[in-house]
Structure 1
Amino acid sequence: MFRVGFVSSVRPLASPSVAQAARFPQTTAFRYFSNLRPNVIATTQKRFSRFTSFRTFLTDSSPVVVRPTQAQAWKRYGVTAATVAGTIIVVNAFFNRETRESLSPAEQSYLHESFMYAGGGLGITALVARSMFKNGFAFRVMSANPWVVLGVSLVGSIGTMMGVMYTPPENTILKHAFWLGFNACQAATLSPLFFFSPAILSRAALYSAGVFGSLSYIGATAANDKYLYMGGPLLAGVTVVALSSLAPMALPLGMRGLAVTEAISLYGGLAVFGGFILFDTQKILQHARMAERGTVPRDPMREAISLELDMINIFIRLVQILARQQNKK
């Protein structure tokens, strides 16, 4: 499945005709492989085993918690909000020097519906993941064999994702059922993230929203088809990111090799999926124009899958980066 998914994804994106390339949704199928983060599961397993090893000490001794004052908390929130706003302004000024004319009503409607489905799917994923964590599902996931978790996640997520993409929009009930199933599979994969500190998760969510919002705005207001050429390079990049994510599970790497693959997966993944936000936003606008002419069916739910995967991959990497920074302190 891995090789078939890769070949079928490379073919449309490497095509010289970008307009034809945007018709094929297979890119998302391969992009999911980098969303499966065995390093996250391994990290949370290590944290939980360390916690259970010292549970006697934790229960017999009163915890020492240093809580910031209200003024310090508001100061942190202000600095974080200013950082996000400044990043949006700088990125917009750098990438969006040439803007396009205003969006047509068809483009606005299609883009709005796609982002509504993406936002709704992310909300469902977060709520279901939190519920699974409270019910102990996350602990059972960490206790299982990582390869079993990887295989089940691949089968469930890719199967439901393909169901969303290839079910006709007229079959509303079945298409929404596949969409809910896809978000449930994503929630099951992401539920172990709740073992991290809530402060880390909230900061990562805020940073992810800032990155996603700024880049999608740039993609929507940039000149027509300005970023559609990035399809081929982005697919090559996500291939490298996916292989670097799976390498520690398959290859006997040393400490330096592990550090290199982790850096490629984290920081390279941020760059690749940031580029995918630009690409997917302009692909949605192109599909809106094509749907208006009647050459492709109007299917905003299919477009939302790509946006959800971009956001989830960025969020996962920001959680890991913030957790590493906290551990160094």
Structure 2
Amino acid sequence: MAFLMRRPFAVTCALKQTPITASAFRAFHQGPVQKAPANFSNKFASSRATFRSAFQSTFRRNYQQPAAFPNPTAQGNLTQRLLYGGAIFGGTLLAINLVFNRETREDGGMPPFERSYLNDTFLHTGLGIGIIGIAARALHANGWSYRLMAANPWLILGIGLVGSIGTMMGTRMCPPENYVAKYALWTAFNLTQAALLSPLMFYNPAILARAGLYTVGLMGSIAFVGATAKQEKYLYIGGPLLAGVAVVALSGLAPLVLPVTATRTLMFTENLWLYGGLVVFGGFTLYDVQKVLHHARLSERGLIKRDPVNEAISLELDFINIFIRMVQILAMQQNRRK
């Protein structure tokens, strides 16, 4: 969803840059036609390649300056890159623990009911992310991404918001006892996210894989801190995080109102949207994990119902927002090296 909300006019820019003939999309919008010439498949394959190139160039910001220092993880052989990546991940985990996890739990460890509730939440989160990934790949392979980009971006944005918010609210309001309807709505929510995120499949699969691994590592380390920290230590950051996400959202809308000549301002808003968004949604991950443990204690006392599906939706949204930013950061690094 955030992928389309960030630059809704980029879709039309990609269409203007792409010399696609009417016959290339005739199968999507018209009825049966006459027999195609023998070289139709070659022309269609060429159009798909050109469309993909135009899409990637459209979402590439030209005002990004080249990096002053090379990226060590992109140099050397596979062993060196793995060592660099492991060192970065280990250092990040150690730093997060030293800064945010100075006060650990005072109850001697996580009780069994909290551990069970947290494990069920992580299980549903992983299952939801898997559904989104598989469905997005299948939709992209069937040409959905091309049809999505050819449609009116504001119409897609409106329908996407209605579908995402509607299925999410329906899932949250559905009681856990009615598991058939609840899981059906939850599946519809995941499919809606997959339909809106399918254009990410235009990126290099290696970038998507690396972004996924980085996202899992970042969220895993933050979740570890939230699970082992003192009870309800980070529940107070919910309000500041809402203010932060509002600032990040406004920075994402800056290209719609600022002129192209405002290069420095656009660079600042781009970095704020990317790196500020990583900080904000990393904080939401910490908050959501502690909220899951708090709800586990309330459900143990019978004050609320046990509902890991609702808890998983929040973590899924955190994952999606971090993953999108990771993809764009890695894509920009790759473009600078070309």
Shorter-chain TM-score bucket reads: 0.7 to 0.9
Match of 2:121 among 95, 114, 137: 114
| Post-superposition offset of 1:44 | 11
User: Which aligned pairs between 1:1-329 and structure 2 lie closer than 5 A?
Assistant: 34=2, 36-39=4-7, 42=10, 46=14, 49=17, 72-100=77-105, 101-250=108-257, 252=259, 254-329=262-337
Distance apart, 1:83 and its partner CA: 2.1
- Give the C-alpha shift of residue 155 in structure 1: 0.5
Counterpart residue identity of residue 137, structure 1:
W
More helix, by proportion: 1
Q: How much is the aligned-residue C-alpha RMSD, in angstroms?
A: 2.6
Unaligned runs of 5+ in 2: 22-45, 51-75
Alignment partners' CA distance in 2, 1:138 and 1:128: 12
Q: Distance in 1 between matches of 2:9 and 2:124?
A: 28
Matching residue's letter, 1:263: N
Say which SS state the counterpart of residue 276 (structure 1) adopts: helix
Query: Which blocks of at least 5 consecutive residues in structure 1 are unaligned?
Result: 1-32, 60-70
1:312 and 1:77 map into 2 onto residues whose CA distance is 25
Structure 1 residue 108: deviation in Å? 0.8
Offset of residue 199 of structure 1: 1.5
Pairwise CA distance, 1:78: 3.7
- Cα shift readout 1:122-150 (whole Å, capped 9, x = no counterpart): 01100000111111111112222221121
Change (3 A) 1:319 1:156: same
AA in 2 matched with 1:278 = L
Deviation at 1:40, TM superposition (A): 8.5
Give the match's secondary structure for 1:261: helix
Deviations 1:77-105 (A, max 9, x none): 34323322332222222211111131111
Answer whether contact 1:128 1:184 (CA < 8 A) is retained. yes
For 2:84 and 2:327, the matched residues in 1 are separated by 18
Shift of 1:41: 8.1
- Cα 1:48–1:199 change in 2 (3 A) is farther
Separation in 1 of the partners of 2:309 and 2:256?
A: 34
Letter in 1 for 2:186: W
Cα pair distance change 1:34/1:135, threshold 3 Å:
closer
Report if the CA contact (8 A) 2:117-2:296 is conserved. yes
Aligned residue for 2:77, secondary structure, equals helix
The alignment of Structure 1 onto Structure 2 pairs a total of residues equal to 284
Deviation per CA, 1:255-292, whole angstroms, max 9, x where unpaired? 33322221211111000000001100000000000111
Q: Is the 8 A contact 1:44 1:195 kept in 2?
A: no
- 1: CA distance, partners of 2:333 / 2:13: 19
Tell me by how many angstroms 1:36 deviates: 4.7
Q: 1:21 maps to which residue?
A: none
1:132-177 CA-to-partner distances (Å, cap 9, x unmatched) read: 1111111112222221121111000110000111100011000001
Give distance in 1, aligned partners of 2:295 and 2:197.
30
Which SS does the other structure have where 1:225 is aligned? coil
**Within 2, Cα distance between the matches of 1:125 and 1:301?**
15
- Which deviations, in whole Å up to 9, do the C-alpha atoms of 1:28-61 show, x marking residues without a partner? xxxxx756543388389649946979x59x89xx
Q: Secondary structure at the match of 2:214?
A: helix
Residue 78 to residue 151, structure 1, CA distance change in 2 (3 Å): same
Contact 1:113 1:300 in 2 (8 A): yes
1:48–1:135: structure 2 CA closer, same or farther, 3 Å change rule? farther
- Does the aligned pair in 1 maintain the 2:3–2:197 contact within 8 Å? no
Distance 1:284 1:147, change over 3 A: same
* TM-score normalized by the length of structure 1: 0.79
Q: Which letter does structure 2 place at the counterpart of 1:261?
A: T
Q: Secondary structure at the match of 1:295?
A: coil
Identity of aligned residues (%): 53
| Structure 1 range deviating more: 112-121 or 261-270 | 261-270
- Rate the CA distance shift 1:91–1:109 in 2: closer, same or farther, 3 A: same
Greater shift after overlay, 258-267 or 311-320?
258-267
1:36–1:225 distance in 2 versus 1, CA, 3 Å: farther
Q: Structure 1's 213 and 78: CA in aligned 2 closer, same or farther, altered over 3 A? A: same
